[in-house]
Structures are given as structure tokens and as C-alpha cells.
């Protein structure tokens, strides 16, 4: 069993915001692989199915971004998975231009509060992650206002394509490992 967790904030008012890239990628995976996201457990909306021959749980924590680790830790413990090899976390990154992806097997939170909470709850920085670029906040903007804001029409087109590539990268991590996905998508 693998867990693919997409980070975001619950509720329709956050749906199209920069902070919800993880949720958007999970929705794409669920649609492409016909996985019903109809379960509510592990403080998340989730669904189980098969992606490229691998059994997966798709997870959208409902704890709000800054407490994402609570949900992911609960699911990791319940399914007894090894985060280093069986967990993929997908989230937004303001240090990447809109539409860019960055895949890593480990690393720090890089200032992302959702990732800080996940690392705290898991006790490790070693797990696969896919970062979807949303662009740097403009000078003078409050960070929270920026990440909870929407995209321009031009950036939305870039981000939509990046989410599709992130979904492809997640499937490739399952089949060929993170190194191959890093070579293909970074």
C-alpha cells in the first residue's frame, strides 16, 4: 500500500487557491484512475484504488494546511507503511515559478508550514515529495494572503499543466521510483 497525500485547505472558498495544489493533483489522480474519494477517515477525505498496478490510498487532509501531519501520521500508522518508500506528499511551493515542478526524496520543510507539521509528526524528512510551483509572493504582500489567493489567467494555464505533470510524476514514482521521476520531471 502506498499513500499519496495532497496538501490543501478544506472548503470551497480555498478550492482555487495557490495553497491547494496538492488537492488539485489528488483530484486528477482520482479521476484518471477511477478512485472514489468517498471515505472520511484519518482526518481526511480519501479513497483507495490501484494506480499502475500499485494499491494506493489518495489522501486529502481536512485538518487545514498547518496540521497536515496529524492526518498523514494517522494513515501511515494505520496502514503500517514506511514513509521513506511508500509515501508521496504533493504541495505548493512559492520558491518555484508557476508551472514548475520539483521532485525530491527527502529534504527540509523549506518554510512550508504543512511540511513542517508532517516532518514533526513523522519524525523524518525522508519521504518523496512533489512540489508544484505557484510563484513568489510580490513585495509588500502578506504570505497568507498570497497563498490563499487565486491565479491570473496566464498562471492558471501553467499551473493546470503542472498539476497534470505532477499526477504523472506520482504514478511514475510508484512504478519506477523517485530517481526516474526526478530525471523526467525536474
Query: Any binding-site annotation on 117?
Result: no
What domains lie within the chain, and their CATH numbers? 2-185 (3.40.50.1470)
Average pLDDT, the chain: 96
42 given a catalytic annotation: no
DSSP string, 127-176: EEEEEEE--PPPTT--HHHHHTS---HHHHHHHHHHHHHHHHHHHHHHHH
CB 185 within 8 A of CB 101: yes
Positions of the chain with pLDDT lower than 70, given as ranges: none
Angstrom distance (rounded) from CA 170 to CA 178: 9
Q: Which of 19, 42, 112, 121 is catalytic?
A: 19
CB 115 within 8 A of CB 91: yes
pLDDT at res. 126: 97
CA-based angle 143:145:148, to the nearest 5?
A: 105
Write the burial class of residue 118 (CB in 10 Å: 0-12 exposed, 13-18 middle, 19+ buried).
buried
Q: Tens of pLDDT along 104-155?
A: 999 999 989 999 999 999 999 999 999 999 999 999 999 999 999 999 999 9
pLDDT at res. 146: 94
CB 3 within 8 A of CB 82: no
**Longest pairwise C-alpha distance within the chain:** 47
Query: Any binding-site annotation on 64?
Result: yes
DSSP string, 2-34: EEEEE----SGGGTTSGGGHHHHHHHHHHHHTT
H or E element, residue 76: helix 68-79
pLDDT at res. 8: 97
- pLDDT over 90, % of the chain: 98
Q: At what angle do helices 153-176 and 21-32 cross, to 10 degrees?
A: 60
φ, ψ of residue 179 to 5 degrees: the values are -60, -45
Cα 105 to Cα 49, 83, 85, 127, distances in angstroms: 23, 10, 9, 5
Q: Considering the entire predicted model, what is its pTM?
A: 0.96
Amino acid at each position: 500500500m502506498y499513500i499519496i497525500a495532497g496538501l490543501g485547505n478544506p472548503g470551497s472558498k480555498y478550492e482555487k487557491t495557490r495553497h491547494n495544489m496538492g488537492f488539485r493533483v489528488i483530484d486528477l489522480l482520482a479521476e484518471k484512475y477511477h478512485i472514489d474519494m468517498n471515505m472520511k477517515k484519518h482526518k481526511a477525505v480519501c479513497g483507495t484504488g490501484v494506480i499502475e498496478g500499485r494499491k494506493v490510498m489518495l489522501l486529502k487532509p481536512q485538518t487545514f494546511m498547518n496540521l497536515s501531519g496529524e492526518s498523514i501520521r494517522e494513515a501511515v500508522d494505520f496502514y503500517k507503511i514506511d514513509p521513506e518508500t511508500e509515501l508521496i506528499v504533493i504541495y505548493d511551493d512559492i520558491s518555484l515559478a508557476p508551472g514548475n515542478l520539483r521532485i525530491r526524496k527527502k529534504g527540509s520543510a523549506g518554510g512550508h508550514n504543512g511540511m513542517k507539521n508532517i516532518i514533526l509528526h513523522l519524525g523524518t524528512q525522508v519521504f518523496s515529495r512533489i512540489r508544484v510551483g505557484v510563484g513568489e509572493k510580490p513585495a509588500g504582500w502578506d504570505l497568507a494572503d498570497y497563498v490563499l489567493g487565486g491565479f491570473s489567467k496566464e498562471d492558471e494555464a501553467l499551473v493546470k499543466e503542472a498539476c497534470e505533470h505532477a499526477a504523472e510524476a506520482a504514478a511514475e514514482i510508484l512504478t519506477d521510483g523517485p530517481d526516474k521521476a526526478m530525471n523526467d520531471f525536474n
